[in-house]
Structure 1
Amino acid sequence: MMTVARKMLINVGLLCLSLLLAAGMVRADTAEVMLGGKVFELEVVADPASRTQGLMGRTELGDNQGMLFDFPMGTQPAIWMRNMVISLDLLYVDAEGRLVQLFDKVPPCAAMPCDVYRADRPLRFVIEVPAGTAERAGLQIGDNLDLNGLLATPPPDL
């Protein structure tokens, strides 16, 4: 039987974890994606506020880390690098998991106006990874990406 002190400690721990999740300090929504034979852990963002925030303000990104933006069907997203500190590769992926557009080594933008990187067709995902990743992985337009089951999940609502 658990002691009162042990129950209290467990409850405090769960409360702390809940607060960290709510504050965004612990990322609950992640996906592992294979790019060029290397596993990447990507934060998944699917709501408008999270997509707007993106990686803005981040000062570093691990070699195997990034962000996956999940868009409602039919969306032609436009990405900019405002308030970014690090350069990124932008991988535009359609609903079948095919790489349809690639912007590599996109620099940060400290002051307006910032360049906008528009999709030339409807997409399902945009993947942001450290600059140079696409080249190192040998990614090319038309490649089918291993999204580990993400294609089977329904897209977010508008």
Structure 2
Amino acid sequence: MDDDGNKRLSMAEFRKGVADFGLDLTDEEVKAAFNQVDTDQSGSIDFSEFLAVLRPPLNESRLKLIKAAFQKMDKTGDGQITHPKYQNGEWSEDQVFTEFLKTFEAPNTTDGVVTWEEFLNYYSGISNSIDHDSYFDLMMRNSWKL
């Protein structure tokens, strides 16, 4: 679907993808579906927007745990995390990329920073594979020492 390889879907690419999958939608229906997914109204659909519509919403208890874990790592409160071993010079930038950031960052956005959106998307995916809130709670608390 991403014909130009920019990791975003334009309206034309989305329309073509809908047709390629054999969906018989009117132009208005395609436009409405596109606009529903393009939540930032940028005129294109990025990876995060695409994932958000595929995943069911998080319940309040899971969202609170994810926020608590992120806030624990976001020492400056700026909504971004960089790996502490990179910040204090223990690891090179390359080591950080391979050991930490690749886990959370969306494909092709390895900028050395994990944003709230990337962190949330990662744990939304994990959440989908865990049926019971109690297990998700235990996993988050043990992983992040909450």
Greater strand fraction, Structure 1 or Structure 2? 1
> TM-score higher than 0.5 here?
no
**TM, length-normalised to structure 2:** 0.22
Higher relative contact order (CA 8 A, sep 6+): 1
